[in-house]
Structure 1
C-alpha cells in the first residue's frame, strides 16, 4: 500500500531522445524489411506459399497479443483508479498504441492466404453440415467485418487513452482522469471480446470443427502476462539509459507480483481447458489436444507446461527476486514462452506429422517484430513524456511501498 506520511517534490519531466537509441531504429527497420520481403517471396512462390502463410500467422498473432496485453494493463489502471502504476503507465499506453499497426499484418493473410489457412473459406453450403451450422459466423463478409471492428475499436480505445493521458500532461485537468476511467471500464470488456473473437477467427478457425469455450480466456491470460513482461523490460531499458528516475524497486516488485498472478492464471485456465475436454472425451473437442500430444509435438506441449508455469512460478514467489535483475530474465523467459505457445497453437495445424522447422518462421517473426519495434521507437515513445507528469496520483505512486 502507499505511504502518505510525507511530501515529495514533483520530479522533472522526461522526454525520450531518439539519439539515445543509436542505430537500433535503423537495424530494426532494415531487419524488418528484410524479413517481410523474404516472407512475401514465400507467400508468392507456390511451393512455399502455405508454410509462409502459417509462419506469418504465428508471428502476427504473437505481436498482436503483446500489444493487447499493454492495452489491458492501461485499461485496468484507469478502471481501478490505481496509484502504483502511474509512473510506468505511459509505457503501457505506448505498447497499446501499436495495437492497430499490429492488426494491419493480418491483412495479407485475409487478402491472399485465407483459403490456405482456414479450410472453411472455400467450402460451399451443403459440403459440410457442421460448417452449415456455423455459417452465420464463419462467412467471408462477417469475417472482414470483425477485422474492421478489431482495428477500429482497439485502435480507438488505445489512442483515446494515450491522447487523454498526454493532454493531461499539458493542462493537468482532472476531467481527463474521469474520462480515462470511463474508457478503462468500457475498454476491458471491449478488449476481452476482441481478443476472444480474434482468437476464434484466426487460431481456432484453423480447424473449424474444433471448439473450446475457454479459448478466449486462455489467449487473454497469455497476452496479459506477456504484456506485463514487456512493460518490465521497456521500463528497465529506459532506466538503464538514465530515464524514469521516478520508477524504483517497489514498482518492479508490484509488476513482478502481476507476473506471478498471470503465470498462475495462465496455468489454471490451461489446465481447466485440458481437464474438461479430456473428461468429456467428445471427439469434436479433443481434436486439438490429440494432434498436439502426438509425434514430436508432444515434447513441445510438455515443454510449454513445464517452462511456462513450473519454472517461473517458484522463482516469482520470492520477494527479493522481484527487486533485482532476475525479474528481467524472468520477463524474457515469459516472452519466449509466449512464442512457444503461439507456435504450438498454429504450426501443428500444418505439420500434423510432427515438428518441421522452417526459415519462414524466423523471417516472419523478425519481419513483423522489426517493423513494430521501429514504429515503437520512432513514432510512439518519443511523442510524449515518458510518464504522466500531471496525473493527480503521481506523488502517491512515487511513495509506493509494498
Structure 2
C-alpha cells in the first residue's frame, strides 16, 4: 500500500492560529472583567468565610487564582488526551487487534503533546501551586501554628513538594520515553516491513500498559484528588482514568471522522466508525458506572470526611447544575444517541456525540478541580473559554503537525489487510 501523507497546509495553520489568538483575546477580556467588574472584590470578601473549610489557608481569592485553576484544569485534561492516545495504540498492540491498524497513526500523534504537557504542568505548579494545592502551605505542619492540620500533616510522607515534583517528572519522563520508543518502531516498520518491529511494539506496549495501570491512578491522586486534601476515595483512580479514556476516544473518533471527510484515510469505512462509536458508547457507560459507584458508596455511607466532597457540589447554587449536567452530557446523551447500530456508522451522529462528550468531560474535570480550590468563588465565563481555546489550539497544532511527519496509514503494519477488509 502506498504512503498517504497528511497535508498540514498554511490554511489549516491559519485557522488554528486564529483559534489561539481568539483565545488570548477572550482570556484577556475575562481577566479585565474580573479586575474591573467588581466580581473579584466580591469573591475576595466571600472567601473569608469559605476559607475556614481550608483551615484559613486562603484569606482572599484574586483573578489570578481563578487563572491558575483554569490552567490546571486544562493541564490535566489535555495531558489525559495525550497519554490516552498512546494508551489506545498500546492497547491495540497488546490485544493483537487488527481492525485499528489503518487508523493507529491518529492516536499515536496524540503522544507528541506529552513533553509540552510536562513543561506546562511543572510551570503552573511552581507558579500557582500554593493556590491549587492547600497542602503546600508549611504552616499546616507546624504544631505551634493555630492553622496546624493534623490530617494533612499525617499525609506529609506522600504529599510534600519534592516528592510530588519527582513523581510528576517520573510520570512524564516514562510516558514520553515509551511514546518515543513506540513511535520509533512504528516509523521503522514503515521503512523495513516484516514482523520484527511489530513484535517489539507488542512488548513495548505491554510494558507501557503495566506502568500506566499504576501511574494513571497515582497521577490522579496527585493532580486532582489531593486538591481536596481531607477527602479520599478508593475509586478515584478509576474515575479519573474513565474520564480520560472516554475523552481520548471521543477525540480520536472526531479526528478520524474529520480526516475521512476531507479525503484522507480512505480505507476507513463505516465498519471502523462503528467500532469507534462502540468504544465511545461503551466507555460512556463505564464512566457513568464509576460515577454512580463512587457517589452512591460515599454518600450512602454518610461519613463526614467523605461526603463533604459531594455536599460542596450538591448544595452549591453554582456547582449543583454542573454536577447533574455532566451526567447528562457524558452518559445519557451518548447512551441514547449511540444506542442504535446505524447511529454509530453515520458521521453526523459521531461528530455530535464526540463533541458533546469532549465538552462534558471538560466540565467534569472543572467540577473535580474548581470547588476544592476556589470554593464558592468559581465561575464559568470568558476566562475559562479563552484558556481552553488556547490549549485546544496548541494541542491541535502539535498533533496535526505530528501527523504530517509520517505516512497517515502504517503501510507495512502486518495486520493492515485485516483492517482494510474489516467487517462487523
Q: Does the TM-score normalized on the shorter chain lie above 0.5? A: yes
Q: Does residue 1:168 correspond to 2:189, yes or no?
A: yes
Distance 1:104 1:32 in 2: 20
Q: Does residue 1:292 correspond to 2:307, yes or no?
A: no
1:308 counterpart residue number: 330
1:356 counterpart residue number: 379
1:399 counterpart residue number: 421
Q: Is the 8 A contact 1:251 1:400 kept in 2?
A: yes
Q: Does residue 1:128 correspond to 2:128, yes or no?
A: no
Distance 1:119 1:159 in 2: 35
Q: Is the 8 A contact 1:196 1:216 kept in 2?
A: yes
Q: Is the 8 A contact 1:130 1:209 kept in 2?
A: yes
2:303 counterpart residue number: 282
Counterparts of 1:78-93 in structure 2, within 5 Å, are: 78-93=93-108
After TM superposition, give the deviation of residue 29 of structure 1 in Å: 5.0
Distance 1:247 1:159 in 2: 26
What CA deviation, in whole Å up to 9, does each residue of 1:218-239 have, x standing for no partner?
A: 0111111111111111111211
Counterparts of 1:15-34 in structure 2, within 5 Å, are: 15-19=5-9, 21=12, 23-28=14-19, 30-31=21-22
Q: Does residue 1:202 correspond to 2:192, yes or no?
A: no
Pick the aligned partner of 1:263 from 284, 305, 310. 284
After TM superposition, give the deviation of residue 200 of structure 1 in Å: 1.3
After TM superposition, give the deviation of residue 137 of structure 1 in Å: 0.5
1:242 counterpart residue number: 263
After TM superposition, give the deviation of residue 141 of structure 1 in Å: 0.7
Larger deviation, residues 184-193 vs 329-338: 184-193
1:13 counterpart residue number: 3
2:233 counterpart residue number: 212
Q: Is the 8 A contact 2:30 2:381 kept in 1?
A: no
What CA deviation, in whole Å up to 9, does each residue of 1:133-166 have, x standing for no partner?
A: 2111001110110110111011111222122111
1:390 counterpart residue number: 412
Q: Is the 8 A contact 1:192 1:220 kept in 2?
A: no
Q: Is the 8 A contact 1:34 1:367 kept in 2?
A: no
User: What is the TM-score normalised by the length of structure 2?
Assistant: 0.86
CA separation of 1:214/1:15 partners in 2, compared to 1, >3 Å: closer, same or farther?
A: same
Gaps of 5+ in 1: 1-10
CA separation of 1:36/1:95 partners in 2, compared to 1, >3 Å: closer, same or farther?
A: farther
Instruction: Give 4+ residue runs of structure 1 displaced > 4 Å after superposition.
Output: 31-43
Distance 2:391 2:417 in 1: 38
Distance 1:160 1:39 in 2: 41
1:153 counterpart residue number: 174
After TM superposition, give the deviation of residue 395 of structure 1 in Å: 0.3
Distance 2:407 2:201 in 1: 18
Distance 2:8 2:107 in 1: 19
The root-mean-square deviation of aligned C-alpha atoms, in Å, is 2.3
Structure of greater relative contact order (alpha carbons < 8 Å, 6+ residues apart) = 1
CA separation of 1:163/1:36 partners in 2, compared to 1, >3 Å: closer, same or farther?
A: farther
Distance 2:135 2:393 in 1: 32
Q: How many residues align?
A: 390
Q: Is the 8 A contact 1:29 1:374 kept in 2?
A: no
Q: Is the 8 A contact 2:73 2:369 kept in 1?
A: yes
Larger deviation, residues 103-112 vs 322-331: 103-112
1:3 counterpart residue number: none
CA separation of 1:338/1:119 partners in 2, compared to 1, >3 Å: closer, same or farther?
A: same
Gaps of 5+ in 2: 41-60
Q: Is the 8 A contact 1:25 1:377 kept in 2?
A: no
After TM superposition, give the deviation of residue 97 of structure 1 in Å: 2.5
